[in-house]
Each structure stands twice: as structure tokens, then as C-alpha cells.
Amino acid sequence: MNKEHIKPFTAGAVVGAIALSIVMFSTGWAVTSSTSHTNARKMSQDAVVENLAGICVAQFEGAADKDGKLDKLVQTESWKRGRYVSDQGWATMPGSESPTRDVAKVCAQRLAKMHG
């Protein structure tokens, strides 16, 4: 092969590699390490919140007048329900002094589904 045949091949390979990289990163086929760490952190936080929401529901189950409180929760505007759960103390985990906002939000969603 002479140099004249190699130049178009080399240029095509470079352009193809650049195009492939752009496609891979824009479609999510390739992920940087910081993105994977961020995704892993979010997934683990979500899993913890889901598990703690189960404890929150169990604490609701032990509440006095739980049926009345569930009715009041459902009557509360949806964006205020997490606050209602926190105020009842159900989102305060054993050994903790304060409620967890994300747990209260997920717990309120679960409790609202119980009502229906």
C-alpha cells in the first residue's frame, strides 16, 4: 500500500472513533467513573430510604387512632403529607432525634396507598 491509500483510511478511522465516542457518551452506552459513583450513591440512598420507610409504616401501625390519622393524612394536600408524617413522629427512626424528610415522603406515599 502506498501513502495515498493510507491517508483516507486513517482519516476515516479518526472521524469514526470521534463519532463513536460522541454516540456512546450521549446515549449512555459509556459512563465516566464519577457518573457511576454518583449513580451508585443515589441507588444506595434510595434503597436505605425504602427500607426505613418500612419502619415508618410499622411505627404508624402502632399509633393510637391510626385510622383517624390515616384519614387526616389522605385529606392533607399531597405535598404536605411528608410533613404530617414527620410531625406524627413516624419518620423518626429508633435511636434518632429527628425525622428524615425523604423517609417521611416515601412513608406518606405508602400510607396513602393503604387507605385506598
Q: How many CB atoms lie within 10 A of CB 92?
A: 19
Average pLDDT over residues 6-25: 79
Of residues 73, 62, 64, 52, the one with CA closest to residue 115: 73
pLDDT in tens, 67-101: 999 999 999 999 999 999 999 999 999 999 999 99
Q: Can you give the pLDDT at residue 32? A: 73
Q: Can you give the pLDDT at residue 8? A: 76
| Alpha-carbon torsion (87, 91, 93, 98), positive or negative | negative
| Window from 5-14, 33-42, 60-69 with minimum mean pLDDT | 5-14
**Range list of H helices, the chain:** 3-27, 33-61, 66-75, 81-88, 101-115
Q: Can you give the pLDDT at residue 1? A: 56
Q: How many CB atoms lie within 10 A of CB 13?
A: 10
Distance CA 102, CA 100 (A): 6
Q: What is the pTM of this model?
A: 0.70
